[in-house]
């Protein structure tokens, strides 16, 4: 779908690389411009895989599929010349430097658009490109705390907890890709690129959802309350005689199906309505777990399924990646890595009707070795520039 688009990925770590990878998954040619020592994530581990002294970071492998790698020192004349040539041939430039850094290197937004008026520039920052704290470094866990996410996550208000993946980075990457595609669409009409901006702060605040309106509209300050929903009950994690199960009784109709399973009359006090159940959540949870203690998770999941009550188990990642349903959705892909051979990666989340198991590409590229494509990209630039003469 984006096979006619060339993306320059000047980003490091996760937010920008994730955005560029999403564009690559849609078919764009992504050229990752790395420092001479490479993206920071090449050294993030363990775990590492490969031969001693020639290892690859599994962190780097997670966010750099469908890219080519070239190396450049952007402070040197040669590095500036390479980037200038790439900018003239590109459609998109992604960067996540601190505000002002790229300009100090000689590539302000104005200069980039002088070189290529059609260029879509996407800048990802930690807390925004302006404002009183616009220059702060953007690290995911700090952003999770500053943007309020940790305050509503965890077992109690006294134990703020981060999400198990760098969710601020990932959301910022998704927003960046979304904004870039919109800007490319606009360019079809205007003939000019524009600057797209997002940040970890904006991306986390942007998914506060009902927790945000609890404060902005109702004046309530949400706090962490473990594995239960603040506005629906019963909805959450419940212990059984074996492993826990999750149930989602998200409507009165589902409550009518669930209540008899634990020996309750769905229409009787004190749990007849969802507000009643939310107010008495502690007592209701204790009652459910008392009844669930009679049998293990599999027995309860079978009973809940028969009654039509949404429920599920809590899987570990090894279980997820061997689950038939995961495999049926094309969520694992095999790629041929330059030094590791064939490796299996989590795949793209989008499916399209003409290629339902591999996103928008017929084949996927393995994450590149550092500088793997220096020569091939240089040859491509020479050919493009010759055509332009």
Sign of CA dihedral 338, 339, 340, 341: positive
Angle between helices 15-25 and 167-190 (to 10 degrees): 50
Least Cα distance to 178 among 8, 26, 63 occurs for 26
Annotation says 158 is catalytic: no
Sequence-distant (≥ 6) Cβ neighbours of residue 1 within 8 angstroms: 26, 27, 352, 360
End-to-end CA distance of the chain: 29
- Which pair of structure tokens corresponds to residue 27? 């078919």
Pairing of strands 68-71, 195-199: unpaired
Q: Which of 129, 16, 32, 39 is nearest to 90 (CA)?
A: 32
- Report d(CA 142, CA 162) in Å as an integer: 9
DSSP state of 194: -
What number of H helices and E strands is found in the chain? 16, 13
Q: Which of 232, 227, 249 has the alpha carbon at shortest distance from 152?
A: 227
Handedness of CA 133, 170, 336, 60 (dihedral sign): positive
Residues 6+ apart with CB under 8 A from 273: 252
Question: 265 in the Ramachandran plot: left (φ > 0), alpha (ψ -120 to 50) or beta?
Answer: beta
Provide the CA 118 distance to its chain's centre, in angstroms.
Answer: 27
Of 39, 169, 353, 387, which one is the catalytic site residue?
Answer: 169
Q: For 228, which DSSP code?
A: B
DSSP string, 106-135: T--HHHHHHH-TT-EEEEEESS-SSSTTTT
Q: Token pair for residue 224? A: 């962490």
Q: Which run of H or of E encompasses 150?
A: none
Query: Which residues have a catalytic role annotated?
Result: 169
């Amino acid at each position: 779908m984006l096979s006619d688009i060339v993306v320059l990925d000047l980003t490091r770590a996760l937010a920008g690389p994730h955005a560029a990878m999403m564009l690559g998954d849609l078919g764009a040619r992504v050229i990752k411009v790395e420092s001479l020592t490479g993206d920071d994530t090449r050294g993030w581990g363990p775990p590492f895989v490969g031969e001693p002294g020639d290892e690859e970071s599994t962190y780097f492998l997670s966010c750099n599929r469908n890219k080519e790698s070239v190396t450049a020192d952007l402070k040197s004349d040669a590095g500036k010349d390479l980037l200038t040539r790439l900018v003239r041939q590109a459609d998109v430039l992604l960067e996540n430097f601190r505000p002002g850094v790229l300009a100090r290197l000689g590539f302000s937004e104005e200069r980039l658009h002088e070189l290529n008026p059609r260029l879509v520039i996407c800048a990802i920052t930690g807390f925004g490109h302006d404002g009183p704290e616009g220059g702060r470094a953007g690290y995911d866990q700090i952003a999770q705390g500053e943007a309020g996410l940790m305050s509503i996550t965890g077992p109690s208000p006294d134990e703020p907890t981060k999400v198990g993946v760098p969710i601020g980075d990932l959301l910022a990457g998704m927003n960046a890709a979304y904004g870039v595609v919109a800007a490319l669409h606009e360019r079809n009409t205007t003939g000019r690129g524009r600057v797209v901006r997002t940040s970890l702060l904006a991306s986390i605040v942007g998914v506060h959802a009902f927790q945000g309106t609890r404060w902005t509209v109702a004046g309530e300050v949400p706090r962490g309350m473990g594995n239960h929903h603040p506005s629906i009950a019963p909805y959450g994690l419940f212990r059984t005689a074996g492993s826990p199960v999750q149930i989602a009784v998200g409507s009165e109709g589902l409550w009518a199906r669930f209540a008899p399973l634990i020996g309750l009359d769905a229409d009787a006090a004190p749990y007849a309505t969802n507000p009643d159940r939310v107010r008495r959540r502690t007592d209701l949870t204790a009652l459910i777990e008392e009844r669930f203690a009679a049998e293990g998770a599999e027995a309860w999941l079978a009973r809940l399924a028969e009654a039509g009550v949404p429920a599920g188990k809590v899987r570990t990642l090894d279980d997820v990646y061997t689950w038939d349903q995961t495999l049926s959705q094309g969520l694992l892909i095999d790629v041929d890595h330059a030094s590791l051979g064939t490796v299996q990666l989590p795949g793209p989340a989008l499916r399209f009707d003409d290629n339902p198991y591999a996103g928008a590409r017929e084949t996927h590229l393995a994450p590149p070795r550092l500088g793997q494509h220096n020569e091939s990209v240089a040859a491509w630039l020479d050919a493009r520039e010759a055509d332009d003469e």
